[in-house]
Amino acid sequence: MALNLKTLVNHAPLSSSRQLFHGVSPKPTSISFSHSSSSLQGFGTQIATQRKEPLSNQQTAAVRHLTGSLITNEGLRFVVVVARFNEIVTRPLLEGALATFKRYSVKEEDVDVVWVPGSFEIGVVADRLGKSRKYHAVICIGAVIRGDTTHYDAVANSAASGVLSASLSSGVPCIFGVLTCENMEQAMDRAGGKSGNKGAEAALTAIEMASLFEHHLK
């Protein structure tokens, strides 16, 4: 810190009264105190006067956000694997998926449907279709409803792990659209009832994931 003091002191000695009487003002005497130092040593601390630029003002690299599009789907092809078991549920799910594809301008010739006996068989078929490189996404539709035995748990777990394995093995998004419900009422509610249509939701997911892979993750 620099101290620079300059003080003007007006001295009016006795002899100057004569000058005042004759209309002559005495000249001010200039007394200058100058002391320059970059720091104060009194308490062993140094006071810095230079301020650094805030971190918020420093330039940073731009962050890229990658996402799939629901409208950029030209040239994308899809396949729907549908379990025939509990068809009263799976068919409305399929219809919801196909209606969504149409709503988002996916051409009919770009969508194939493959039927399998039940949800347990979905995984192996999805894996084969993904590895065929004909499709940009595979939708897996089924319905597993709890009964009186533990068969429900075995099929539900196998269906979920099978679809995941197919997706990881083939490198093609395989969308899980298999309902696992406690009763038929819950299943129907999710197949176009009061809880919406999970087949339609699966189609939306398939379009977005196919677009993401095709345009950003190739």
Q: Which residues are catalytic?
A: 151
Q: CATH fold of 78-215, please? A: Rossmann fold (3.40.50)
The tens digit of pLDDT for each residue in 82-102 reads 999 999 999 999 999 999 999
State how far the Cα of 10 lies from the Cα of 7, in Å rounded to an integer.
10
Token pair in block for residue 194: 């009061």
Report pLDDT for 72.
Answer: 85
pTM for the whole structure? 0.72
Report pLDDT for 26.
Answer: 52
Instruction: Sketch the domain layout of the chain as residue ranges.
Output: 1-35, 78-215
The tens digit of pLDDT for each residue in 9-66 reads 444 444 444 444 345 555 555 544 444 444 445 445 454 445 565 655 555 679 999 9
- Indicate the pairing of strand 78-83 with strand 137-145: parallel
Report pLDDT for 148.
Answer: 84
pLDDT category of residue 8 using cuts at 50, 70 and 90: very low
Is the pLDDT assigned to residue 198 strictly greater than 50? yes
The tens digit of pLDDT for each residue in 105-163 reads 999 999 999 999 999 999 999 999 999 999 999 999 999 999 888 899 999 999 999 99
Is the pLDDT assigned to residue 3 strictly greater than 90? no
DSSP 104: T
Report pLDDT for 149.
Answer: 86
Beta bridge partners of 99: none
Residue 201 corresponds to which amino acid?
E
Is the pLDDT assigned to residue 1 strictly greater than 50? no
State how far the Cα of 129 lies from the Cα of 80, in Å rounded to an integer.
10
- Segment (H or E) for 35: strand 29-36
